[in-house]
Structure 1
């Protein structure tokens, strides 16, 4: 995690706790000539635009006061969306019985991408039920082998 995202996380957590919201992710990226500081927030039944606005205003005041970013940037606060990223172990625990998309650093059973229902997460092992053509099987994926993970909408 970069220094900027660490500072922003420290500033953001008390704001979110006050509003009963959860920090899903922070991105600090350069796109073209512009820098973007993006916060993704959520709660049980999703966040609305008012909550995003309140967080943006409160965080913006603190960032202006502390001034940890030496150049111009755009601050964006939003919901992570229906296919929210799964990063922390707590995210995987909340995602049990939901559809997920997992990409691994190295192949497991010859595959690096798995999409299916997360059956369990226990002691660092994800168990996913995947369908391959007409067969349903389970795959065990060690947490430390997960490169990227998100909730998935399967049609």
Structure 2
């Protein structure tokens, strides 16, 4: 199965934005045996996504993907939130999540390392700064193969739901 993810992203991003969400990542996972188009999105104001949001995006994208058919063969569509230990895929992510710990994998070795872990300092002129135990490393955004936030108490506190009202009560019918 071949899928041009740039084409798929260009197709679906306006639809996701029209629903009031930001597209975080589009990826094909599962390989040939279980191909899955994974779409991660979030609400602009909360950076979260609930089940109703996932369903709304899924319905909209299912219809669009069926109509335009940009992916060869059968596949599953999976719409999800990026989660707490989210991937960092956009330049803005490095500004938004400055002060939090991340693991960054590079496409090429940089100063003797192909992977860095540390606190994101930010991004300026396409250069991402990461404070590592060996000092601040500056890497070009284009040389980042993948990156994700690391689960820490600080991150958990920063991503706590805006409202937990009713979270500890169980409602039953009948």
* TM-score (structure 2 length as normaliser): 0.74
**1:118 and 1:129 in contact (8 A); partners too:** yes
2:84 is aligned to 82
Q: Do the aligned partners of residues 98 and 11 (structure 1) sit closer, same or farther apart at CA in structure 2, a change above 3 Å counting?
A: same
Equivalenced residues, count: 150
Residue 142 (structure 1) aligned with residue 140 (structure 2): yes
Write the distance in 1 (CA, Å) between the matches of 2:110 and 2:5. 32
RMSD over aligned CA atoms reads: 2.2
Moved more, 56-65 or 9-18: 9-18
Residues 15 and 34 of structure 1, relative CA distance in 2, 3 Å threshold: same
User: Any conservation in 2 of the 1:16–1:55 contact (CA below 8 Å)?
Assistant: yes
Q: Distance in 1 between matches of 2:14 and 2:123?
A: 29
Contact 1:4 1:28 in 2 (8 A): no
Which residue in the other structure is 1:41 paired with? 41
Distance in 2, matches of 1:53 and 1:5, equals 22
Deviations 1:41-81 (A, max 9, x none): 11342111110110000111112222233422111101121
Q: Which runs of 4+ in 1 moved over 4 A?
A: none
Superposed, which structure 2 residues align to 1:60-71 within 5 Å? 60-71=62-73
Alignment gaps of 5+ in structure 2: 154-174
- Give the number of the structure whose residues are more often strand, by fraction: 1
Unmatched 5+ stretches in structure 1? none
